[in-house]
Chain A
Amino acid sequence: MDQGWWRLLGGATAVDAQAGPTTGTKSTPRIPWWGSAVFVVVAALAIVTWTVTEQGVNNQSTALLKNNAAQIELLLQSALNTVQGELRSVAFITANAGNSSTVLAQQSAGLRAQPAVTVAVVDSSGPAPRIVAVAGSALTVGETLSPALAAVVRNGATAMAGDIVQLGGQRMAALSASLTVSPNVAAIELTPLTTKAVPNRTGPYSKVYVNLYASPKPDASELFLTTYGPGPLPMPVATSPLKVGALNWLIAVSPKDPLIGGAAAAAPWLILGIVLLVALLLGVFVELLARRQHYARALVEERTAELVQAQRTLVRQERLAAIGEMASVVSHELRNPLSAVINDLFLVRRRAEPELNEGSERHLANAEREVYRAARLSEDLLAYAREREPQLAEVDLEALVAEVLENSPAPPGVSVTVDAAVRFQADPALLTQVLENVVTNAYQAISDGGTVQLSGRREDGSTVIVVEDSGAGIDPEVGQRLFEPFFTTKEGGTGLGLAIVHRLVDAHGGEATIDNGQLGGARISIRIPGQGRAS
C-alpha cells in the first residue's frame, strides 16, 4: 500500500514501527502521547467551562423565574382585591334591594363570565349562615351553608377568603367577602374546578406555566388554578406565597422555554462544543507534530547507524589495507635475509660435499627445504596482499594452460587432460597465477599418482574453468573455508594458495567454488564473467 501521503503528514506507519530503522541497532522510540494528553487537558477545561457557564445560566434563569413568580403574586393579589371589591359591591346592592336574586343576577354578570359560576349572598345573622339570594345553579335560596362553605364565609368576615370545597360531588373554588359595615352579610362566588389548563398564550406571563394552590404547599388536591394541566410542573419551578385573607396560598411557576432566551441557554453547550472542537484540533495538531518529530528522530537514528556502519567499514578497510601493506613490506624485507641464508647453505654444501656425512646431509637438506618454504610463504603473502586492478586482454585458455603446465609440470604418476578451447577477457598474469595455484593444489592432492582434468567452456555469458582431481576429495563441512587465508588441511602448505585464487577471481568479478567431482577428488570451479567465445 502506498503510504506516501501519511508520511507527508509526518506519520510513522505500522511498517516503520515493526521494522524500525533498517540498519540501526536501536529500537524505534515509542510515538509520544502528547496529542492525546493535549486533547484530554483541553477537553477537561471545556467541561469545567461548561459547568461554570451552565451554573451561571441556571442561576440567571432561576432568578428570572423567581422574579416572574413574585410579579404573578402581585397580579393575583390585585385580582383578588378586585374580586373582593366586586363581591362586596354585589352583596351591598343585593341586600339593599331586599335580597333580590334578580338584582343579584344583574349585578354579578361581571363575576359570572362563565355560566357555571354561581354567586350568592349569605346572611350570617341567624344561628347558621344561609343563602338569601343566588345567581347560578350550585346553591338555592334559603339553603343553609355546608360547614366547609360556612368556614369560608367566616374567614371572609374581615378580609377576602377562599378555599376549595366539595359541593354536590363537584370541586368548587369558593371566594368570599363580607361587608365591612355589616359583617353578617357576605357574598360568595363558587367556580367549578377542573384540572384542565387555563391557557395563557398571551399577556406578559405567557412564557411561564402557573399553578395556584389553595394551600401553602404544592398539594395536587388543593390545585386552585393551572395553566399547565394535571400533574406537577416541569422543573425548574419557582414558588411564591400568596396571602388570601388569613390564608396562605402558593404560586408555582415554571418556564415554558428558557426565560433568558434560547441562545443564552445554548451558550454553555455552544462553548462546550467549540472548546471540544478546539481540543480535538489541538490534539490532532500536536499529534502530527509529535509524529513528525518521532519520524525525524527515527530517520536521524537510521542515518546515524548507517554512518557508524560506514565508518566501521572504512576503519576495517583501512586496517586491512594497513595489514596488507605491512605483509607486503615484511615479505620484501624477508627476501634479502632469505637470499643470504640460501646462498650460505649452498656454499656450506659445496665446501663440505666431499666428506658430508649422512646426518649433516639430512640437516642441510632440511634447512634448504625450510628456507625455500619460507621464501614461498613470503611470495604467497605478497601475492595475497597485493592490490590488483585486472588489466583485461583476450586470453587463449589453451595456450595459457600449456604455459602453466610447462612451468609446473605434472609430477611422476600424474596424468593431465586438458579441454580448454576457449578465448575470453581476463588479466593473463593474474589468470596464470590462478591456474598455477589450482593445478599445484591438484598435484598435491594426488602425490601418489592419479588424474587431473582441466576444462574450460562458455556458459551464460561467463567463462567456466573446472579443475578436478582423482584424489581423496574434500570434507564437505569444510567447503568454502578452503578459500580463507591460512586455512589449510595440508601439511607444509602456506594456507594461502586457494585464498590467492579466491582474491584474484574476485578481482575479476567472478567466483570460485569447491566441491567433490566425478573423479572422486576435489573439483574447483572458477566462473569469470565477461565476453568470450569458444575457439
Chain B
Amino acid sequence: MTTPRRGTVLVADDDRSVRESVAEILESDGYRVVEATDGEEALERLHSGEVDAVLLDIKMPRRDGLSVLDVMSPPPPPPSVVLVTAYDVEPEVKRRLGGRVIRILRKPVPPMLLLDVVDDAMRAAGTAGGA
C-alpha cells in the first residue's frame, strides 16, 4: 500500500462478489476495509471499534441492516452509516431512520459515486481523508 490510510470502512454485504469488489475499490483508494457477511458479524465489527464509516446492506442473513442500525452501540465517535440496498426503502422507514443514516444508495452504485459518498461519510465522521 503506497497510499496513506484514510480511515476504516466496514463493508457489510452477504454477496461475496459485491462485498469483495467494493472492498477492493475502497482499498485501491486508500481506505482500510473490514468486511462482514451478515448482520451479527457487522455488529461485532462495529463493537470492536475503529470503524469510521459503514456501507450497510439491508437484506442480510441472521440480522438485517435496519436491525443492526437499531441495536448497535459502538464506542464513540459513532461511524457514519450509508445504506446500500437493492430494494426500495419505504418513505416511513426513511423517516424513522432520521439522521442516523447520511445517505441511502440503490444498487448498482457507480464506483465513482461510491467513492464520493464514502469520502463525504469520512468527513461527517470527522476523519477527513488525506486529500
Residues of A within 8 A of B (CB): 332-333, 335-344, 346-347, 350, 371-372, 375, 379, 382, 386, 391, 429
Contact B87 A347 (CB under 8 A): no
Contact A340 B18 (CB under 8 A): yes
**B107 interface hit (Cβ, 8 Å):** yes
Q: Name which residue of chain B comes closest to A368, CB basis.
A: B110
Separation in Å of the B78 CB from the closest CB of chain A?
A: 26
Q: Name which residue of chain A comes closest to B22, CB basis.
A: A343
How far apart sit A347 and B22, CA to CA, in the bound complex (Å)? 10
How far apart sit A343 and B91, CA to CA, in the bound complex (Å)? 28
* Cβ 8 A contact of B111, one of A333, A342, A379, A391: A342
Q: Name which residue of chain A comes closest to B13, CB basis.
A: A336
**B44 interface hit (Cβ, 8 Å):** no
How far apart sit A335 and B112, CA to CA, in the bound complex (Å)? 17
> Considering the complex, which residues of chain B in the window 51-68 have a beta carbon less than 8 Å from any beta carbon of chain A?
none
Q: Name which residue of chain A comes closest to B57, CB basis.
A: A336
**B86 interface hit (Cβ, 8 Å):** yes
* Cβ 8 A contact of B25, one of A335, A336, A343: A343
Contact A375 B108 (CB under 8 A): yes
Contact A347 B86 (CB under 8 A): no
Residues of A within 8 A of B88 (CB): 382, 386
Query: How many pairs of residues, A versus B, come closer than 8 Å at their CB atoms?
Result: 56
Chain A contact surface mostly: helix
Residues of A within 8 A of B22 (CB): 339, 343
How far apart sit A241 and B131, CA to CA, in the bound complex (Å)? 158
> Considering the complex, which residues of chain B in the window 1-56 have a beta carbon less than 8 Å from any beta carbon of chain A?
15, 17-18, 21-22, 24-25, 28
Residues of B within 8 A of A372 (CB): 110
Contact A336 B17 (CB under 8 A): yes
Contact B25 A339 (CB under 8 A): no
* Cβ 8 A contact of B18, one of A339, A382, A386, A391: A339
**B102 interface hit (Cβ, 8 Å):** no
How far apart sit A36 and B108, CA to CA, in the bound complex (Å)? 80
Contact A342 B15 (CB under 8 A): no
- Interface size class on chain B is 10 to 19
Residues of A within 8 A of B108 (CB): 335, 338-339, 341-342, 371, 375
> Considering the complex, which residues of chain B in the window 64-120 have a beta carbon less than 8 Å from any beta carbon of chain A?
86-88, 91, 106-112
Contact A340 B21 (CB under 8 A): yes
* Cβ 8 A contact of B21, one of A332, A347, A379, A386: A347
Contact of A336 with B21 at beta-carbon distance under 8 Å, contacts A342-B110, A342-B111, A343-B111 already known:
no
Contact A332 B86 (CB under 8 A): yes
How far apart sit A371 and B53, CA to CA, in the bound complex (Å)? 28
Q: Name which residue of chain B comes closest to A345, CB basis.
A: B111
Contact A347 B107 (CB under 8 A): no
Q: Name which residue of chain A comes closest to B24, CB basis.
A: A347
Separation in Å of the B38 CB from the closest CB of chain A?
A: 15
Q: Pull 13 A–B residue pairs with CB atoms less than 8 Å apart, ordered by A.
A: A335-B86, A338-B107, A339-B21, A339-B86, A339-B107, A340-B15, A340-B17, A343-B22, A343-B25, A343-B111, A350-B28, A375-B108, A429-B91
Contact of A336 with B111 at beta-carbon distance under 8 Å, contacts A343-B22, A347-B28 already known:
no
Residues of A within 8 A of B86 (CB): 332-333, 335-336, 339
Q: Name which residue of chain B comes closest to A350, CB basis.
A: B28
How far apart sit A108 and B111, CA to CA, in the bound complex (Å)? 164
Q: Name which residue of chain B comes closest to A331, CB basis.
A: B86
Q: Name which residue of chain B comes closest to A339, CB basis.
A: B108
How far apart sit A123 and B21, CA to CA, in the bound complex (Å)? 172
Q: Name which residue of chain A comes closest to B21, CB basis.
A: A343
Residues of B within 8 A of A344 (CB): 17, 21
Residues of A within 8 A of B111 (CB): 342-343, 346
Separation in Å of the B81 CB from the closest CB of chain A?
A: 19
Contact of A335 with B28 at beta-carbon distance under 8 Å, contacts A340-B17, A343-B21, A347-B21 already known:
no
Separation in Å of the B111 CB from the closest CB of chain A?
A: 4
Separation in Å of the B30 CB from the closest CB of chain A?
A: 13
Contact B87 A343 (CB under 8 A): no
Q: Which of A333, A338, A342, A382 has the most CB of B within 10 A?
A: A342
How far apart sit A269 and B86, CA to CA, in the bound complex (Å)? 97
Separation in Å of the A349 CB from the closest CB of chain B?
A: 9
How far apart sit A341 and B21, CA to CA, in the bound complex (Å)? 9
Residues of B within 8 A of A338 (CB): 107-108
Contact B24 A336 (CB under 8 A): no
Residues of A within 8 A of B17 (CB): 336-337, 340, 344
Contact of A339 with B109 at beta-carbon distance under 8 Å, contacts A332-B87, A344-B21, A347-B21 already known:
yes
How far apart sit A379 and B87, CA to CA, in the bound complex (Å)? 10
Residues of A within 8 A of B18 (CB): 336, 339-340, 343
Separation in Å of the A339 CB from the closest CB of chain B?
A: 4
Q: Which of A336, A342, A375, A429 has the most CB of B within 10 A?
A: A336
Residues of B within 8 A of A379 (CB): 106
Residues of B within 8 A of A337 (CB): 17
Q: Name which residue of chain A comes closest to B29, CB basis.
A: A350
Separation in Å of the A40 CB from the closest CB of chain B?
A: 76
Q: Which of A337, A339, A342 has the most CB of B within 10 A?
A: A339
How far apart sit A129 and B109, CA to CA, in the bound complex (Å)? 164
